[in-house]
Amino acid sequence: GSGVADLGSGRRMRPGLNYRVGSLTKPFVATVVLQLVAEGRLSLSDTVGRWLPGILPYGDQVTVRQLLNHTSGVPDYTESDGFRMQIETDPKGHLSPATVLSWVEKDPLVFTPGSRYQYSNSDNIVVGLMAERVTGRPYGRLLREIVFKPLGLRRTSLPTKPPLPRPFIHGYMVQPGSAPEDVSTFLNPSGAWASGGIVSTPKDLGTFIRGYLGARLFPASLQRRQLRFVAGGESSPPGPGRNSAGLAVFRYRTRCGTVYGHTGNFPGYVQFAAATRDGSRAVTTSLNIPAPTGALLARLRAMQETAVCLLLRSK
């Protein structure tokens, strides 16, 4: 570890501290959906229109599989005017999944579904709503029953209000020439929901990613379908090595070997979690600054690749 989890108290980074995992929420919702597929209650070829008629004007063209591997063409709500206005006027306000999708419901598809890859946070909002419709149960309850309890994730939750469980890693915005700004509770996570709303700890996240890759949460036969990768698919922010996208999982081919996982990004937080193919070993990295770009991103990816190399050599 380097730096501190809280500039005010000087608390050091520790594996048991809470933080926002951002887009690492996506593998959690995928776990729910893949379990429903395993039970025969949902199919990867089901369309949005079948379960959520009218929620998107092109719902009959988009499938569960395309949502999970970001080949749907559904516009990303975080790029919308509605999202920007929310950030500027009421960042702590509660948002429903239907509200965030309404910001893009009148926009056309970005491309023909299935024709190419483009990361979209809207995809997982739709997937979460489909899971609720199929089961008749709230998404938070599905997470507890299908993911949290089986893996013993006692410090992992899906909050709908800005406060984090204490103690937590504080997230900061950092600008040259200015003091770091604590943004840990700046944004209500309700808007991120099934796309990026989960709070966890480094320890819990490591447990989750091992279970996710180790086929402890859905059958290995279904995992083989999950691990069919789209060329050019890149997590956001990019992970180490060469990235390829599967169904809510990315393959990271590094100079030392291959691991599978996801990255996460939330204001003030940047996360990475990956595991070996059998889920026996895992690595997580956590930053409490904004997602880096340019030379700093290259430095982060190099550090993550070094961690992957150490992981694979220790097997």
Cβ 171 vs Cβ 164: under 8 Å: no
Contact 81/57 with Cβ under 8 angstroms? no
Nearest CA-CA partner of 156 in 285, 24, 269, 6: 24
81, 137, 177, 228, 260 from 248: Cα distances, Å? 26, 22, 38, 11, 10
Adjacent-strand bridge partners of 151: none
Q: Which amino acid appears at position 223 of this protein?
A: Q
Is 74 buried (19+), middle (13-18) or exposed (0-12) by CB count in 10 A? buried
Strand 181-182 relative to strand 250-254, pairing: unpaired
> Catalytic pick from 23, 80, 157, 184?
23
Catalytic: 200?
Answer: no
- Catalogue the active-site residues: 23
